[in-house]
Amino acid sequence: MSAEKVPGRFTLVLHSHLPWLINHGRWPVGEEWLYQSWADCYQPVFGVLRRLADDGFTDQLSLGITPVLAAQLDDPTATAGMYEWLADRQLRAVEAALDDDPDRRESGHREYRNSAAALADFETHWRHGGSPQIRSLLGTGVIELLGGPLAHPFQPLLEPRLRRLSLSEGLNDATLRWGAQPTGIWAPECAYTPGMEAEYADAGVRHFMVDGPTLHGDTALGRPVGGTDVVAFGRDLTVSYRVWSPKSGYPGHASYRDFHTYDHQTGFKPYRVTGKTVPSEEKKPYDPDRVDPVIDRHVDDFVACVRERLIAESDRIGRPALVVAAFDTELYGHWWHEGPIWLERLLRRLPEAGIEVGTLATARRDGFVGEPVDLPDSSWGSGKDWRVWEGPQVQHLVQLNSEVTETALHSLDKRLDGAAARDLTADQILRETLMTVQSDWPFMVSKDTAAGYAQDRAYKHAHATREICAASDAGRDEQAARLAAGWRRADDVFGQLDARRLEERS
């Protein structure tokens, strides 16, 4: 029997993103990052959504998938590489299962079962890429799909013409892959600066995500922004931090599998968290039998938290409130091994507890919208401002982005002046510029997570942009075309990008 209905509605938003990784190294950062996320997160999360859809669930969550991730999930090189990676993982599991160490043997048997299931799922659902899966889920109505700008730039710091082009091209990419243009987006890093709402309106975007402090903590309703009817929805930190908090989130429980500690002989992660201050060499073996009741406790705890928050916020504003919890999709399975199980149990348990579940689109449609608001410069990064992407640690990348953008736009304006036919050299200049200014590179430097890799990627794409532009500006069109073709072979992404759609300089 279902519990008494709670006022208001709960919305879960997931943001799926990885930078372009194909042909840019393998380990410890590179394609391995893509394949781990695919196997441990995207496959199980999509499995959760398929099962929910099969059982008649609809409007379960708003799922953001960035164009750069979508491109990788569809790329033939990536799908072939993923299949080989899964097969290799299964072979490594066989070796571990034959080891003399009993804990390693147990881990090997467990990983073999997991690998066999992942291979079967991949052969059944993923061999032709991610788009067929996404189209299928859209057809069931179990998700709302959120789009985003091409190549995931930090939009407030991007030159306005490039910002508008990146947004429109990202939405076009979604339409091309999935047959429907998203009406909502997860802006990269939830970054905002005044005026972007008008660009959203012009592009057909009806709603977008910001972090809770951007709405001064009042996230109980979406809010129209800046004189438009584009609605900003804010992440409820009281609820969201219940799951993913630096100090007390669920994934840090002692029984869950530890993300950071490897068995370097096998490449597997056979240890449990054990304790927050326990060094890696003292971690205890992972025991799945310890996990199941912990997952249930965390589901019940989150349901109770949502229930209390909905009641309190509805009482506070005098009408049914909205509670939005938002996370990176990669938390579920990649960072938090047990996350997909928790997610499925949660979505089945919420309606039993009297909690109505919906998407951002249905929240806007059904009137969970308050009075208009003007928003400040903001993001969901440290300090909720822009320091991660323009602070002292990344000033060299800020300068690089500015110089490369100026160089590229100067060359493009010359090449595209009066152009009628498509110009593949111009397309590649634009493509490399967008790859240079991805928000991932300064984030990784500021957070000191593979900072060397991030800087190498930024400077490599900047070099590609500059050398094509230099040849083009000097009138060496054949050389520019050869250079553009070579860089295109290195990163064969966003083939539909047409530089002629760049606005003329005003």
User: Rounded to an integer, what distance in angstroms lies between the CA atom of residue 193 and that of residue 156?
Assistant: 6
Residue 326: how many other CB atoms lie within 10 Å: 29
Q: 257, 272 in Cβ contact below 8 A? A: yes
Segment 336-357 mean pLDDT: 98
pLDDT tens sequence across 210-237: 999 999 999 999 999 999 999 999 999 9
pLDDT tens sequence across 148-193: 999 999 999 999 999 999 999 999 999 999 999 999 999 999 999 9
Q: Which CATH number describes the domain made up of 388-501?
A: 1.20.1430.10
Is the per-residue pLDDT at 477 higher than 70? yes
What's the pLDDT score for residue 2? 63
DSSP letter for 372, please.
Answer: -
pLDDT tens sequence across 238-293: 999 999 886 789 999 999 999 999 998 999 999 999 998 999 999 999 999 999 99
Is the per-residue pLDDT at 61 higher than 70? yes
pLDDT tens sequence across 300-338: 999 999 999 999 999 999 999 999 999 999 999 999 999
Is the per-residue pLDDT at 355 higher than 70? yes
What's the pLDDT score for residue 28? 82
User: Rounded to an integer, what distance in angstroms lies between the CA atom of residue 302 and that of residue 98?
Assistant: 40
What's the pLDDT score for residue 248? 83
Question: For this structure, is 313 an active site residue?
Answer: no
Q: 476, 403 in Cβ contact below 8 A? A: no
What's the pLDDT score for residue 104? 93
Is the per-residue pLDDT at 382 higher than 90? yes
Bridge partner residues of 494 (DSSP): none
Bridge partner residues of 369 (DSSP): 222
User: Rounded to an integer, what distance in angstroms lies between the CA atom of residue 326 and that of residue 359?
Assistant: 12
Question: For this structure, is 467 an active site residue?
Answer: no
pLDDT tens sequence across 3-59: 889 999 999 999 999 999 999 999 889 999 999 999 999 999 999 999 999 999 999
Choose, from 32, 218, 300, 328, the residue flagged as catalytic. Answer: 328
pTM of the model as a whole: 0.96
The residues of the chain that CATH labels 1.20.1430.10 are 388-501
Q: Supply φ then ψ for residue 288, to 5 degrees.
A: -60, -25
Choose, from 75, 173, 189, 258, the residue flagged as catalytic. Answer: 189
The residues of the chain that CATH labels 3.20.110.10 are 9-376
With a pLDDT cut of 90, the percent of the chain lying above it is 95
CATH of 9-376, one of 3.90.1170.50, 3.20.110.10, 2.102.10.10, 3.40.50.300: 3.20.110.10
Q: Chain-wide mean pLDDT for the chain?
A: 96
Is the per-residue pLDDT at 1 higher than 50? no
What's the pLDDT score for residue 136? 96
